[in-house]
Each structure stands twice: as structure tokens, then as C-alpha cells.
Structure 1
Amino acid sequence: MGPVLLLLPEEILLLILSYLDRQALGRLSQVCKKLRHYTSRDSVWRRIARRCLNTGFLQQGADMISVIPVKERVRVSQNWKYGRCERNVILKWKRNLMPWLQVDGDLLYLTQAEEIRAYQLHPNGSGLHRRPYAVLLGHQEDVCRFVVTNSHIISGGGDGKIALHKVHSSVSIQFSAHEQDVNCVDCHGGIIVSGSRDRTARVWSLSSAADAQCLHTIQTDDRVWSIAINPLLSGQLINCLGTEFKRGAGVLDVCYETPSILLSCGYDTYIRYWDLRTSTRRCVREWEEPHDSVLYCMQSDGNYMIATGSSYYGVVRLWDKRMNRCLQSFSLSCPTSSPVYSLRFTTSRLYAALATTLHLLDFTVSSHQFTTL
């Protein structure tokens, strides 16, 4: 079989191989060196990768990663699916905090009370350098949340202020934004939005932030805990989502997968999937946290996988949107209990921030380290 295939033109051979499944490609790669070479090509694995969890392929078909071979991403994806990972505590601190984190390239940003600390990640993914690469100051009280853009780190704090820190610089600007805690911020295209305990959401221009000029104030019926900008919509109210829910079922995290797909989670223990293209803009699907825990944070791979952090025992859950139940779960804080206040994942690793610890789940491990699948 092998020599016959090798007589085909390369384009035809790669096309045929692209229709094989993962097991067939694995067996064929053992026939000879030439077939091993062809069965490792990215074009052969793309169709498989688009159906797998967290391989860097978005719903629109775009490939967000060009460095890691697609075959390797499929292998790591199987580790996500079956929960195969190494767990490590990579950072500890003494006080109980409510940390928020972001990962941007080889830097991990983590709030520590009134500071935002930037840590350099190790190239091999084993952890981070314990000494901060940079420390960003600008608040008199704890930083609630922040967002990283190409040019700025924008944070909101318990002092009611928004701070703008210029990337790779010590320059920062602070201005009073709300009468109470700024619980959340987001930024896109030079526009900043902020939400507060004072029951308002406000819109600011990044270019005029030094003058503290508010472009628009939106009055809400309750405290604003999470906020996100849709890059394709104007700043006018189109609809209210979830008005039929009981009081107290507040949203703690929200994110756009696409301009028309929105995910939310919060106090009522559900992940909700909103399709903004429908005329009613209602929730079209939902997943319930099995232990009835509040969901503090979440992230999507833009395709099939969602990761959530819950309020009890530092539980991180992985969800496959094609399934009705949780795919995998990891308890990070037994026997004591702490919420997962924030989490972020790449195609190979997940970082979770608890009250006193930062955890790393590394999914690049080899499957032979595990006795069961």
C-alpha cells in the first residue's frame, strides 16, 4: 500500500490523506519514513483539528496559530478532552485576594491588591519567573479588573478610578470614573467602557481619557459586574437580554465569541449562549454547573471548548459545546475552599487564579504517563 501511494502526485496524496481519521494516519505513519513525512503535514490534519477542542481554529475557519504543527495541536487537544495534564502551583501570596489575570504572549498579568504585576512566562511552559517583569500602579484600592490592548493596560479599581498604563512604559494616567467601585472595563478601537457598583456603565474615549471626558452614561437597574464591547455595533441600546430572570441571577462574566455570539455566566450557575442574530435575541442554549456553584469566570476557544471557574473548592470545568454535560473537572483548592476568580488558557496550558495561589494546568504531557484514557 505504501509504495503505491508514493507513486501519486504530492497534491493528490495529501488530499487523500486529509480524509483519513487520526488512528488511520497514525498507523500509516509507521509504514515508512516518507509516509511519516506526508502524514505529519499541516494540510493533512486541518480537517481533524477543526473538529477538536482548543486547537486554535475559530468558528469562521481561521487558524490563529502558525508556529505549532497542527498534528501536535491535535495531540494536545486529546489531553484536554480526556483531562490529561500536570498540575502545579506556580505562585503563592499570603493575603486572601480576588485576583484577575490576563495572558498576552509571553507575559502573564496578575492583580495583587492595588497592583498589576507582569510576569515573564518560561519558554518551555513550566511556569513563570517569580520576580515580576513590571509592576503597574495607579489605584489606592484593589484593582477589580483590567484589559490588555496593543498599546495600554486599562484597569478599574475599588477607588472608583480607571487607570491607563502604557505598555512597555512607566507612564500611567488615572481619572475618577464612577462614584463607587469600577467592577469591569473593556476597550476596543479607542473606546473604553466601564461598569460600576453605582449602577451605571460609562463610555470613554481613549484619546481623551487624560481629560476624563465621559462620552455617554448608561443607567442600569443594578450593579454592573461584567462588560464587553461588540466590535461591530454602535453605542446604542438594541435589546436587554435575560429580563425574565429572577433578581440575584446576576452575570459575573461575559464575552463575545463572534460579533453575533455572546456567552455569559454568573450567580445562577448557568453558562448561556446567546445568538444576537435572532429577532428575539434570546438564549439559544445553556449548560448548568453540576454542583450548583456560582460561576465567576469563563473563556472560550472560539470553537467548541469553554472553561469555567466556580465558587467552591477552586473547581475548573471544561465544556464541549456539542455535549450537554461537563467534559472534565479539576478541583484546585481541596481541602480548603476558594473560588476561581479568573482563568485564562492557551492551546496547551490553563492558568487559574484563586484567593492565595496561581495554578498551572499543563496539557502538553505525553499520554503514556497516564494509565487510562
Structure 2
Amino acid sequence: MAPNPSYYGSDPATSHGREESAQSISPPDMGPVLLLLPEEILLLILSYLDRQALGRLSQVCKKLRHYTSRDSVWRRIARRCLNTGFLQQGADMISVIPVKERVRVSQNWKYGRCERNVILKWKRNLMPWLQVDGDLLYLTQAEEIRAYQLHPNGSGLHRRPYAVLLGHQEDVCRFVVTNSHIISGGGDGKIALHKVHSSVSIQFSAHEQDVNCVDCHGGIIVSGSRDRTARVWSLSSAADAQCLHTIQTDDRVWSIAINPLLSSFVTGTACCHHTSPLRIWDLQSGQLINCLGTEFKRGAGVLDVCYETPSILLSCGYDTYIRYWDLRTSTRRCVREWEEPHDSVLYCMQSDGNYMIATGSSYYGVVRLWDKRMNRCLQSFSLSCPTSSPVYSLRFTTSRLYAALATTLHLLDFTVSSHQFTTL
């Protein structure tokens, strides 16, 4: 009895026939099996991969490179990265720059890879304050506020000011940029209202001494002064501002910020008395709501405050700490704190609304980057060696950081390419 070929293995003749049939069904140029999946399923699978896996997969073929570059694939990764434009609640504040590119630049922030440049110099020692609004950078120069046009490629700014805003007889201490106005406080005790993209400005006497700080939201201005008062102003009148409340703080006010819900505002004072330097006031009545913290030492003044959300507040100052306050509970306590490692005063700070904080220190122009998920400083940059100058003000975007020192304006550009992440 002849053996059955199928019992021991495939018959060579029939096997060869099946191979030819399979080749006719699945041609060699069909591509990766992943591409057979519906697009929405493929993108969902890719969204669960990490950064390195996506980088390797993008090298397989052009189609997979296209799919691994989609924003939806990178959003989950971007929400966990530093300074990608995603806020704590998951909202994406940027829609122009691809999410994949933001993740690449985020790695440069994390590892401190940047190009440093001095983009502006001046001869006098000043205490400049700066703000960045779109493609304009606003910088105080003594009694002036100068607006500079930023280069589209981010390499710097046009040396000639786009506009010069006047209105003070002494140095401008602080200012804030809104959609319609630039509001500034000066050493002459005045507040000036400058219309954006216009030479029209209004000045009025606000305090008896220096207006150290101002903030503005929803047509309401709050100001703090060396004369130990804070005041609330209404912008309902086009020609002037009406004082709604005058609050006796019994201490010099160094910093101030309005809650995004327009329900209250916080003052940071010099802490020359036993009262807490951080106090929250009702915006409608001007009454004290609460004092934050009891652990402040005498002289631990608060130089900068900012709201991340209506319930999260950040503060820094003379006591060398960044403090993270949770205002959702009745105790309104400090839930996290980070200490400046060289015991330097912290003049200014900014948060990305998610995980990153940048601070400016009082010695050698040190800018530090902090990751809230870590206890120690993430990266530091010394901008003024060998001479020493504080970082009086700083602002950053998703790709660049600007820092104002006594005689120079510095740019840290984090868009530099890195060979390690060229596959991203």
C-alpha cells in the first residue's frame, strides 16, 4: 500500500501550487499588516505606544511615518511632558505647532539642550519687567515700556522698538498685557492705561508711593503699593478708572494677582510683621477672606504670585521657596514646596499650567526649571557670570525662554535639533 504523502508532509507538487495561489492573493508590495486595519483602529493602537516605539515604527515606510506623525497619536505622551501646551485639565492651548514637534522640543527642556543668546543690551542698571504677547515682546526701560517685534523664526527680535509707551515720570515697576490695554504701575504712584496698537494712554494718581504691582481681568484692576495699601479699580469709564476699594494691608505690597473667576485676589507683602504675607481678599467687598500659611519668617516677603487655576496658587520670594497652594479646602494649605538650592531670593516665576515651573534667582542670573513631579531642580542656566545680576523677570513659550537681567535680555532657544531624537 502506497504511503499517503499528506500523512508525512505536503506533496511537493501540490505545495508548489498553493504557493503560487498565495502569491496571486498577497503580492509582495502589499505592505505591513498594520496598514490593513481601519484608520481609526490603527491610530488608536499607535496612541498606546511610547515615544521610542513610534520613532522606530516611523522608519518602516512612508505610510507609517504619516500615521505616526498625527497629533492624536502623540497627545497622550504630550500630556505627560513638560511645557507642551497642555494644561492640567487636558486642554490644548496650541493648535498650530504639531504635537509631535512639541514633544521633541519638550525633551530639550527636560535635558537642558538650548541655544543661548543675548538679544538686547542697555547701559544703565535697571530692574526690567517683560511680557510676551504673540509676536510682540514688551520690556520696561526705566520710565518707558518698549514693544519689540519678535523674528518669525524665533532667532531674536528687531532691535528697533515697534512702539514706545509713555506715561510715567519715574521707572515702571510692573505692567500687565490684556486684550485691549497695557496697564502699568510706576514709581511715581501712577497707573497708566495704554491702548494696544495705539498711542493713546491715560494716567491717573493711584497711590501715595510706588505702585509695585498690578493685575487686570474683566475690566477690573488691582494694584499694590509701597504705601501699604491695595486698591481695586473699575475700567467702566473710558476716560478714567474709578476706585472701588482701598485696603489697608499694613505692609508693603510686592505682588498681586486676580483669581480667574473674578471672585477674589491675593496680595503678597514684605512680611515685616507677624501677619502672613499671603492674604486673599474678596473682590466685591474688599474684605479679608483668608491668610495663607503660618510658617513664614519675618522678612520672607512674597515677590511673585500667580494662579494656575482658580483653586491653585503659586508663590515665591525672599524665603527662597516656591510654594504650591491648594485653595479648594477651608484650610487653604501649602501642599508642595521646592527650595532654591543655593539659598537665593526668587524674584519671578512662570508655570506652564501643567508640570513645569521656571524661576529667576537673585545671584548670577540663574534661571531654573522645575518639574512638579520631582523634589529637586530639573535644570539650571547661569546667564550673568562672571558679574552677578538677578533675573528680574522671565517669560517662556513652548519653545523659548526670555529672561531680563540688569543690563541684558537673554534668549534660550529650545528648538535646537538633537541627534538622539531625530527619529521623532
TM-score under structure 2 normalisation? 0.86
Indicate if the aligned counterparts of 1:174 and 1:210 stay in contact, CA closer than 8 A: no
Change in 2 beyond 3 A, CA 1:30/1:135: same
2: CA distance, partners of 1:160 / 1:372: 55
User: Which is further off, 229-238 or 342-351?
Assistant: 229-238
> How far 1:231 sits from its partner (Å)?
2.2
> How far 1:217 sits from its partner (Å)?
1.0
1: CA distance, partners of 2:229 / 2:308: 25
1: CA distance, partners of 2:222 / 2:288: 14
> How far 1:245 sits from its partner (Å)?
1.2
> How far 1:246 sits from its partner (Å)?
1.5
TM-score under structure 1 normalisation? 0.97
> How far 1:207 sits from its partner (Å)?
2.2
Indicate if the aligned counterparts of 2:260 and 2:309 stay in contact, CA closer than 8 A: no
2: CA distance, partners of 1:285 / 1:154: 32
> How far 1:237 sits from its partner (Å)?
2.7
Q: Which is bigger in relative contact order (C-alpha 8 A, separation at least 6)? A: 1
Change in 2 beyond 3 A, CA 1:111/1:150: same
User: Which is further off, 139-148 or 363-372?
Assistant: 363-372
> How far 1:240 sits from its partner (Å)?
1.1
Change in 2 beyond 3 A, CA 1:124/1:179: same
CA deviations over 1:170-225 (Å, ceiling 9, x no partner) = 10000000000000000000000000001111000012374442100111131100
CA deviations over 1:18-66 (Å, ceiling 9, x no partner) = 0000000000000000000000000000000000000000001100000
Secondary structure of the residue aligned to 1:232 is coil
Change in 2 beyond 3 A, CA 1:170/1:268: same
2: CA distance, partners of 1:370 / 1:314: 30
Equivalent residue in structure 2 for 1:295, among 339, 346, 353: 346
> How far 1:243 sits from its partner (Å)?
3.9
Indicate if the aligned counterparts of 1:84 and 1:370 stay in contact, CA closer than 8 A: no
Moved over 6 A (4+): 369-373
User: Which is further off, 153-162 or 203-212?
Assistant: 203-212
1: CA distance, partners of 2:227 / 2:87: 37
Runs (5+) with no aligned partner, structure 2: 1-29, 263-284
Q: CA RMSD of the aligned region, Å?
A: 1.9
Secondary structure of the residue aligned to 1:257 is strand
1: CA distance, partners of 2:309 / 2:227: 29
1: CA distance, partners of 2:297 / 2:107: 39
> How far 1:370 sits from its partner (Å)?
11
Indicate if the aligned counterparts of 2:247 and 2:286 stay in contact, CA closer than 8 A: no
The reply on whether 1:220 has 2:233 as its aligned counterpart is no
1: CA distance, partners of 2:419 / 2:164: 41
Indicate if the aligned counterparts of 2:312 and 2:327 stay in contact, CA closer than 8 A: yes
Secondary structure of the residue aligned to 1:122 is coil
CA deviations over 1:219-250 (Å, ceiling 9, x no partner) = 11311000000022585432111244122001
Could you say which structure has the larger radius of gyration?
2
Secondary structure of the residue aligned to 1:130 is coil
Change in 2 beyond 3 A, CA 1:114/1:32: same
2: CA distance, partners of 1:247 / 1:219: 19
CA deviations over 1:281-322 (Å, ceiling 9, x no partner) = 011110000000000000000000000000000000000000
Change in 2 beyond 3 A, CA 1:371/1:292: farther
CA deviations over 1:308-363 (Å, ceiling 9, x no partner) = 00000000000000000000000000000000000000000000000000000000
How many residues get paired? 373
Equivalent residue in structure 2 for 1:342, among 388, 393, 409: 393
Runs (5+) with no aligned partner, structure 1: none
Change in 2 beyond 3 A, CA 1:274/1:2: farther
Indicate if the aligned counterparts of 2:246 and 2:286 stay in contact, CA closer than 8 A: no
The share of aligned pairs that are identical, in percent, is 100
Indicate if the aligned counterparts of 2:55 and 2:423 stay in contact, CA closer than 8 A: no
1: CA distance, partners of 2:360 / 2:423: 25
